[in-house]
Amino acid sequence: MTPLHQVIINKDTKINPIWIMRQAGRYLPEFREIRKLNPDFINLCLNENLSSEITLQPLKRFNLDAAIIFSDILMLPYGLNQKVEFKKNFGPMLGNINISEMSKLDEIDFTKNLYPVYKAINKVSANNLTKGKNTIGFVGAPWTLLVYMINQQSPKKNLKENFFKDDFLINRILLILEKFLKLHIKNQINNGANVIQIFDSWAGLLEEKDLPNYIYTPTLSLVNYVKTLNVPVICFPREIKNYKEYCEIVKPDAVSIDYNIDPKKILNDIRIPIQGGLDPKILLTDKETLKKEALKYLEIFNDHPYIFNLGHGVLPETNPDMVEYLVDTVKNY
Ligand code: 1CP
């Protein structure tokens, strides 16, 4: 059994597998080299040779237990034929939505648009470096994708004032997302992904009254779908106020926690396997601090099924030596 399955399915508390959100990417010099020669990020994700190579880069360096495919949650709107671009020093920029065109898109055309992503997963899962390990497929949650698709840029600065104005449009997009997210998940699993993670990076933007409509109902539908495919599903509802309620309603197989969560409190609140938590900024300090903070999580979750990870993606300015030190600290625990 693979390490993540042992924790998630068998509830094994004796091992602490480790992988790192955004492990394939910006902090690695070998990634930057490839990136420099490939200024178009979407094209890079659609280059199955390079995207599989980038996916495997961190596994060549560190004793990680899983590979996460080098792609992006915004490949989904790209697959739906919404224009998606990544601008340097700005982030993603999306085009207008043509809802009647989008409603007509069929499953074959969508799969064709993202075909290289699936081929890359196939290559990664067949590679010796992932033998006995996990290959993680992922999607953005419907709410987080809706945010990018309607806002047309990161909501980091602000969410459009009239974001919720067009109810009819929002509900149509949510239904389209649900259909194609299921297909995107199935295609990833058919090509070798053996864990699925659902990133709801902007879950924290919603008020409590809006959670059922935008988060609980559409995410539950996805989680139930992944369960029918017999692959474990991890949810990451970043900065949601009530992880306990989320887990009780959405029922993921495991939950990934952000760095604002008190690990001791969550241990009391939640019965399912837990992942993550460590503040990525700790990797910018020194080895002593890093060890102390990592051990804190390992000790708190000593008798609970726990997958080591960060509370958000690794920062671009992180020194790879610190990542190596973290992986070794967890492995030697
Ligand atoms: O310029 C560059 O080199 C591109 C930077 C980059 C990278 C390396 C982006 C742009 N995406 C990625 C890869 C990526 N994105 C992965 C690959 C696998 C890995 O190593 O983990 C994954 C899983 C993602 C997921 C993703 N993309 C999320 C969810 C996780 C999270 O961080 O909250 C989100 C919100 C995105 C959107 C995105 N992609 C990239 C940018 C700059 C953004 C916008 C972030 C924002 O709105 O602030």
CA dihedral for 140, 146, 152, 157, sign (positive or negative): negative
**DSSP β-bridge partners for residue 150:** none
Residue 320 in contact with ligand 1 by CB distance below 6 A? no
Residue 72 in contact with ligand 1 by CB distance below 6 A? yes
Read off the pLDDT of residues 46-82 as tens digits, 9 standing for 90 and up.
999 999 999 999 999 999 999 999 999 999 999 999 9
* CB burial readout 253-283, b (16+ within 10 A) else e: bbbbbbbebebeebbeebebbbbbbbebebb
Question: Which letter does DSSP use for residue 91 in this model?
Answer: E
Residue 157's pLDDT is 78
Residue 163 in contact with ligand 1 by CB distance below 6 A? no
Q: How many domains does the chain have?
A: 1
The residue whose two tokens read 């010099």 is 29
pTM of the model: 0.97
Read off the pLDDT of residues 91-111 as tens digits, 9 standing for 90 and up.
999 999 999 999 999 999 999
Residue 314 in contact with ligand 1 by CB distance below 6 A? no
Single-letter residue type at 233: V
For ligand 1, mutation pick of 19, 22, 150 (most atoms within 8 Å of CB) = 22
CB-based burial label for 42 (10 Å; 0-12, 13-18, 19+): middle
End-to-end CA distance of the chain: give it in Å, rounded: 21
The CATH number linked to 187 is 3.20.20.210
d(CA 236, CA 311): 9
- Mean of the pLDDT values across residues 131-135? 98
Residue 158's pLDDT is 80
**Residue 86 — pLDDT band, cuts 50, 70, 90?**
very high
Tokens of 19: 């992988």
Residue 23 in contact with ligand 1 by CB distance below 6 A? yes
Residue 108's pLDDT is 98
Residue 24 in contact with ligand 1 by CB distance below 6 A? yes
Residue 313 in contact with ligand 1 by CB distance below 6 A? yes
Read off the pLDDT of residues 170-203 as tens digits, 9 standing for 90 and up.
999 999 999 999 999 999 999 999 999 999 999 9
Length of the chain: 333
The residue whose two tokens read 């034929």 is 81
Residue of minimum CA distance from atom 15 in ligand 1: 72
The residue whose two tokens read 């924290």 is 204
Read off the pLDDT of residues 2-53 as tens digits, 9 standing for 90 and up.
999 999 999 999 999 999 999 998 999 999 999 999 999 999 999 999 999 9
pLDDT surpasses 90 at 315: yes
d(CA 252, CA 235): 6
> Domain range holding 83?
3-331
Tokens of 12: 């094994």
For ligand 1, mutation pick of 54, 57, 73 (most atoms within 8 Å of CB) = 73
List the one residue out of 165, 164, 151 whose CA is nearest residue 77.
151
Residue 92 in contact with ligand 1 by CB distance below 6 A? yes
Read off the pLDDT of residues 240-291 as tens digits, 9 standing for 90 and up.
999 999 999 999 999 999 999 999 999 999 999 999 999 999 999 999 999 9
The residue whose two tokens read 């420099």 is 36
CA of 26 to the centre of ligand 1 (A): 10
3-state secondary structure of 198: strand
Residue 159's pLDDT is 87
